[in-house]
Chains A and B, each alone.
Chain A
Amino acid sequence: MLESLTAIAVLGTARQGDAALPSGGEVGAFCAALSTDSAEGRLLSAAGVLATAALAGARPAAATGVVEAEAVAPQRTRGVQAAAQLRRVLASGYWPLLADWSRTTQQHGCHAPEEMLPALLTALRARLHEPAVASVLAVLGPRGRWLAGQNPSWALLLADFDAVVAGWEVATGVERSRLFAILRRLDAARARDALESVLPAEDAEMRAALVAALRVGLTDADEPLLEATLDDGSKVVRREAAELLARLPTSRRGVRMAERARDLVQVTQRRGLLRTTRTTVSITLPESSKELTRDGIEDKKLDDLGNRAWMLAQLVAAAPLSTWQTEAELDPVAWLAACRNDEWYVALRLGWTIAAARQANAEWAAALLEDLLAEAPGTALGTYSDWLPTLVTALPPETREKLLRKPLAAAADGLTRAPLWDALLACEHAWSADFSRRVLTALAGYVAALASSWDARLRPECAAALAVRADLPTAAEVVGGMTAAGPYASATQRWVDELAGLVQLRREYA
Chain B
Amino acid sequence: MAHTWSRERVLALAPDATSASAGSTLGVAGKWSLLGRSTDALWGEIKGSGSKPYQTRIDLSEPAFKCSCPSRKFPCKHGLGLLLVYALDEQTLTPGTAPGWVSEWLEERQARAEKKAAKAEAPAPVGPRDEAAAVRRAAAREAKVAAGLDELTLWMHDLVRQGLGAAQALPSSTWQSMAARLIDAQAPGLARRVRDLGSLAFSGAGWQQRVLTGLGRLTLLVEAYRRLDALPPELAADVRAEIGWTRATEEVLAEAGVQDTWAVVGQRVTQEEQLRVQRTWLFGQETGRAALVLHFAAGTQPLDITLQVGTTFGGAVAFFPGAFPMRGLVKDTSAAPQPLTRLTASPHFRAALDGFVAALARQPWLETWPLAVEDVYIEALLSNSASAGCWARDGEKRRVPVQLEPDVAWQLRALAGDGRVTLCGEWNGTALTPFSVLTAQRLYALLATEQARNLVRVA
Contact = CB atoms under 8 A, between A and B. Distances in A.
A binds B: yes
Interface of A: 2-3, 5-6, 9-15, 34, 38, 40-41, 43-52, 54-63, 66, 69-74, 80, 83-84, 87, 91, 113-115, 117-119, 143, 146-147, 150-151, 480-481, 497, 500-501, 504
Given A51-B216, A52-B217, A55-B360, A74 B429 contact: no
Nearest to A80: B457
A157 to B, nearest CB: 14
A6 B209 contact: yes
B415 interface: yes
A9 B415 contact: no
Contacts of A83: 456-457
Contact of A40 (B161, B220, B350, B413): B161
B147 interface: no
A48 B219 contact: yes
B429 A49 contact: no
Contacts of B455: 115
Interface residues of B, number: 65
A52 B364 contact: yes
Contacts of B6: 80, 84
Contacts of B162: 12, 14
B28 A47 contact: no
B269 interface: no
Contact of A69 (B219, B411, B418): B418
A67 to B, nearest CB: 9
14 contacts: A2-B212, A9-B164, A12-B164, A41-B219, A47-B215, A51-B217, A58-B429, A58-B430, A59-B353, A63-B397, A70-B418, A91-B450, A115-B414, A500-B25
B439 to A, nearest CB: 8
A71 B417 contact: yes
A73 B399 CA distance: 24
Given A41-B157, A71-B417, A500 B165 contact: no
A500 B429 contact: no
B414 A114 contact: yes
A48 B165 contact: no
Interface in B347-366: 349-350, 353, 356-357, 360-361, 364
Q: Give the one of A13, A41, A71, A80 with max B CB within 10 A.
A: A71
A59 B377 CA distance: 17
Given A44-B216, A114-B414, A66 B420 contact: no
A62 B6 CA distance: 43
Q: Give the one of B165, B377, B394, B417 with max A CB within 10 A.
A: B417
A118 B377 CA distance: 19
Interface in B277-294: none
Nearest to A45: B219
B413 A38 contact: no
A147 B163 contact: no
Contact of A118 (B161, B407, B444, B450): B407
B166 to A, nearest CB: 8
Given A6-B208, A40-B160, A115 B215 contact: no
Q: Give the one of A6, A9, A38, A500 with max B CB within 10 A.
A: A9
Contacts of B113: none
Contacts of A45: 216, 219-220, 223
A39 to B, nearest CB: 8
B444 A48 contact: no
Given A34-B223, A51-B216, A60-B394, A147 B160 contact: no
Query: Which secondary structure dominates where chain A touches chain B?
Result: helix
Given A6-B209, A48-B219, A143 B349 contact: no
Contacts of B233: none
A150 B380 contact: yes
Interface string B247-271: 0000000000000000000000000
Query: Which secondary structure dominates where chain B touches chain A?
Result: helix
Nearest to B397: A63
Interface in B311-361: 349-350, 353, 356-357, 360-361
B398 A61 contact: yes
A165 to B, nearest CB: 25
A318 B208 CA distance: 73
Nearest to A143: B417
Nearest to B399: A63
Interface in B83-129: none
A56 B354 CA distance: 8
A9 B208 contact: yes
A115 B415 contact: yes
A13 B160 contact: yes
B164 A51 contact: no
B218 interface: yes
B112 to A, nearest CB: 36
Contacts of A2: 209, 212-213
B419 A71 contact: yes
Contacts of B214: 51
Contact of B30 (A43, A46, A51, A481): A481
Given A49-B220, A58-B429, A500 B420 contact: no
B310 to A, nearest CB: 11
Given A63-B397, A118-B407, A504-B28, A48 B220 contact: yes
A117 B407 CA distance: 11
A9 B163 contact: yes
B440 to A, nearest CB: 6
Contacts of A11: 163, 165
Interchain residue pairs A-B with the least CB separation, the first 3: A12-B163, A71-B419, A47-B216
B217 to A, nearest CB: 5
Nearest to B28: A500
Contacts of A9: 160, 163-164, 208, 212
